[in-house]
Amino acid sequence: MRTADPVATVVGFARTLRFAGVEVTTDRIQCMVAALDQLGVARAEDVYWAGRLTLCSGPDDIRRFDQAFAAYFHGERPALPRIPIKAAAAMTLDPARQDSAADADDARSAVAVSASDREVLRHRDVALLTRAERDEVRRLIALLDPVGPSRRSRRFAAAHRGPIDAHRTVRHLLRGGGEPARLLRHARRRRPRRLVLLIDVSGSMEPYADALLRFAHAAAHRRGGTEVFTIGTRLTRISRELRRRDADPALAAVARAVPDWSGGTRLGELLRAFLDRWGQRGVARGAVVVLASDGWERGDPRVLADQMARLHRLAHRVVWVNPHRGRPGFAPLTAGMAAALPHVDEFVSGHSLAAYEELAVVLAGRERPKRV
Amino acid sequence: MGERVRNVDSPGGLAERLDATGYLVDTGLATAVFLALRMGRPLFLEGEAGVGKTALAHALATLLDVPLIRLQCYEGIEASQALYDWDFPRQLLHLRAAEASGRYDAEQLESELYDRRFLLARPLLQAIETGDAVLLVDEVDRADDEFEAFLLEVLSEFTISIPEIGTVRADTPPVVVVTSNRTREVHDALKRRCIYHWLDHPEHDREVAIIRCRLPEASERLAAGIASAVRRLRGQDLLKPPGVAESLDWARALLELGVHEFDPDAAAASLGAVLKYHEDAERVRANGFGGG
């Protein structure tokens, strides 16, 4: 240790670690100090484990911890992650930084959108909206309610018909001094299926990323347990960032978390990464999985086809959202799209508010038998 | 058990004693267990299936010479299955018997009815009542959020209040091991109260040692052959990379086949012991064990 006071050292290290992206709370710091108290500070190995065991809460944290530890205690500079310099300018996630060019030629931006305009607006491509229109569309997306199909849960709830609820019946009996009484019944509850959204944030999807992420935010708040990931050159889980209540701060947090805005796409490889790390373990099992991408694949389309087949076997339903589908004369000609389509249950467009409404309906749609 | 815990003076000493029970640990895991014991916090183990999370709880129970109480989590698990339940049929019988013998002292009857003997202790209550025990909360990721919140409450206080009886408090809190396969993210609030350890696949030498420790009849060469083959399989980008449990199964299978030295043909024949996906088996058969 560099200083005589281990507590000061730990607090300094915690700050470094927080900067590296691990959520370090005060009680965790106390826990590390208590651990050091047990192990002593003489050996670097003990200090390492005392920190790692008390400050980390997942495999992602461990990587960051190792880097921060090396930097703080050994003075090594970690390889800097690619900083998304373009991010703030390219994305319109942060309402404070709207692209001013769009505003300049938009004289009506202050005028509120009237009801009849709204109908027109529903079918406009979100990539081509003025600022006021975009605000209105954002507000309407937040109102969408994509509550999807349900499944029978393992939990029971009191019901009028169904099997006899022995617990409640006997408790009822006891209350009446053991006199035989009415039989009470229960039935399995229904729970909504998990919704998983994979959103392509590569360059070709850039105009639609904002609207899609807002849709994901609305979905995550209507339906607990929703998982959202972005795909581009890397897979990023943003479920935690989207948990914020208001859409704007949530999307600003997403903008900070995602390192690969507007890059290329390696759909197949990233889908595999998703299935390996999350999907197969349980996240995709029996879930409704939505993939929002235009299918521009830089990698091998065969990988994508294999992984789509795997996803289709795990998921309850696979929905592909392609914003370019809404354009006149669209044909799914990109290699990735062609490879993926045989393994998709629903293929919808995602370019306008009307399309998002349709998507919400598709997600809420009746359960139908899975294609084999 | 407080005594026994204090006897453990360092992670190194603990590792030796765990080795003696047949569970081989590395520095990280030894430190994690040491801290969990000394700081009285639950140990939260996460990792791939088959890396030995549940086995650690068994080894700890053997080491401390206390019973292992296991709570297997599943979706829809309720408090009445984890905590306690009243034995309704027996309560009813008691009521009927009292009635038949003509006793009608309502107050006495009521206090009898909610006596401790009509209470069925489920794993969590059992562990708290026993105190001297290892409580294994297995695969907590399979339970739902509601249950997690409830578990958090029990694990932070080690008290359970039963309205009809009163509060049950643990004299010595049990040693708690919580495991998760990470089928979903467990809430931070629960992890924060625990010592968190991510269990990885063991290194080659340790895996050889584990195989030989668990299966003394396996030769050094067989164990080494299996360990390096499994290591290559893990690098081959399979749907389900084999864990330690699978290496042990494989070693057992090869021993059953009368193989005492690793040979690729016998290995290919018994591939079903290691790989549980058709695609994985196909791929390995095509590439051979040497690939990757």
Measured between beta carbons, the chain B residues lying within 8 angstroms of A35 are 35, 39, 195
Q: Which chain B residues are Cβ-neighbours of A62 within 8 angstroms?
A: 198
Q: Are B52 and B23 in contact (CB under 8 A)?
A: yes
Contact B23, B56 (CB under 8 A): yes
Pair of tokens at residue B41? 């916090």
- A268 in a structural domain: yes
- Looking at every residue in chain B, the average pLDDT score rounds to 88
The first and second tokens of residue A63, run together, are 């990587």
Which residue among B38, B95, B141 places its CB closest to the CB of A178? Answer: B95
A1 within some domain: no
The count of structural domains within chain A is: 3
Among A26, A49, A74, the domain boundary falls at: A74
Q: Cβ–Cβ of B198/A56 closer than 8 Å? A: yes
pLDDT digits (tens, 9 = 90+) for B82-129: 999 888 888 888 888 888 888 777 788 878 888 889 999 999 999 999
| Element spanning B234, H or E | helix B220-234
Tell me: do A121 and A171 sit in the same domain: no
**Average pLDDT of the residues in A218-233:** 86
Select from A26, A27, A39, A57 the residue whose CB has the most chain B CBs within 10 Å, as the one to mutate to test that interface.
A57
Any B CB within 8 A of A50 CB: yes
Which residue did the predictor score with more confidence, B59 or B88? B59
Residues A13 and A106 in one domain: no
> Which parts of chain A fold into alpha helices (H)?
6-19, 26-39, 44-55, 59-74, 87-90, 100-104, 115-122, 131-142, 166-175, 206-222, 239-242, 247-257, 267-274, 301-314, 335-340, 353-364
Comparison of pLDDT for A154 and A367, the residue scoring more: A154
Asked if the C-beta of B249 comes within 8 angstroms of chain A's C-beta atoms, the answer is no
A206 and A109 inside one domain: yes
Determine the 3-state secondary structure of A203 from DSSP: helix
pTM for this model (two decimals): 0.74
pLDDT at A91 over 60: no
Q: A173 is in which domain, residue-wise?
A: 152-191
Q: Chain B: give the shortest CA distance to residue A178, in Å.
A: 6
Whether residues A38 and B34 touch (CB distance < 8 A) is answered with: yes
Q: Is the pLDDT of residue A179 over 50?
A: yes
What's the rounded mean pLDDT across residues A243-252?
84
Q: Is ipTM beyond 0.90?
A: no
Q: Are residues A131 and A275 both part of a single domain?
A: yes
* Domain co-membership, A315 together with A211: yes
Which helix or strand (DSSP H or E) is residue A162 part of? strand A150-164
Whether chain B has a CB inside 8 Å of the CB on A30: the answer is no
Predicted pLDDT of residue A11: 92
- Given CB atoms, is B45 within the 8 Å cutoff of chain A? no
Question: Could you tell me if A15 and A139 lie in one domain?
Answer: no
CATH number at residue A211: 3.40.50.410
Tokens in use for A22? 């691990």
B216-247 per-position pLDDT tens digit: 999 999 999 999 999 999 888 788 889 999 99
Please indicate, yes or no, if residue A95 is contained in any of the structural domains.
yes
Residue A181, chain B, CB below 8 Å: the answer is: no
Find, in chain B, the residue whose alpha carbon is nearest to that of A63.
Answer: B198
| pLDDT at residue number A4 | 60
Q: How far is CA A61 from CA A54, A65, A66, A90, B269, in A?
A: 11, 6, 9, 28, 40
**A68 and A132, same structural domain?**
no
Instruction: Tell which residue, A322, A303, A80, has the closest CA to residue A198.
Output: A322
Say which DSSP state A315 is in: S
- A163 part of a folded domain: yes
Q: What is the pLDDT of residue B138?
A: 94
- On the question of pLDDT at A372 being above 50, the answer is no
Are A310 and A268 in a shared domain? Answer: yes
Residues of chain A with C-beta less than 8 angstroms from the C-beta of B145:
224-225
Q: To the nearest 5 percent, what fractions of chain B are helix, strand and coil?
A: 55, 15, 35
Banded pLDDT at A49 (limits 50, 70, 90): very high
Of A132, A165, A191, the residue at which a domain comes to its end is A191
Are residues A132 and A272 both part of a single domain? yes
CB-CB: which of B31, B92, B191 is closest to A49? B31
A 10 A CB-CB count for B163 gives 6
- Residue of A311, A307, A338 whose CA lies nearest to A322: A338
User: Which chain B residue has the Cα nearest residue A226?
Assistant: B184
Please state which of the ranges A199-208, B31-40, B97-106, B249-258 shows the lowest mean pLDDT.
B97-106
Same domain, A122 and A177: no
Question: Which of A350, A347, A319 shows the shortest CA–CA distance to A126?
Answer: A350
CB-CB neighbors (< 8 A) of A173 in chain B: 92
Residues A94 and A217 in one domain: yes
DSSP assignment of B100-133 equals HTT---HHHHHHHHT-GGGEEE-HHHHHHHH-SS
* Pairwise CB contact (< 8 Å): B28 & A38: no
Mean pLDDT of B148-160: 86
- How much is the pLDDT for A119? 64
Is A209 a member of any domain? yes
- What's the rounded mean pLDDT across residues B5-16? 83
User: Does residue A124 form part of some domain?
Assistant: yes
pLDDT of residue B55: 93
Closest CA to A41 of A79, A13, A80: A13
Rg over CA atoms, chain B: 24
User: pLDDT tens-digit profile of A97-106?
Assistant: 444 444 444 4
Of A285, A315, A289, A141, which is closest to residue A221 (Cα–Cα)? A141
Q: Categorize the per-residue pLDDT at A95 as very low, low, confident or very high, splitting at 50, 70 and 90.
A: very low
pLDDT at A108: 40
In a domain, A224, yes or no: yes
Q: Is B147 at the interface with chain A, CB within 8 A?
A: no
Q: Does B118 touch chain A (CB under 8 A)?
A: no
Same domain, A179 and A325: no
The answer to whether residue A233 is domain-embedded is yes
Whether residue B39 and residue A53 make contact (CB cut-off 8 A), yes or no, is no
pLDDT given at position B44: 96
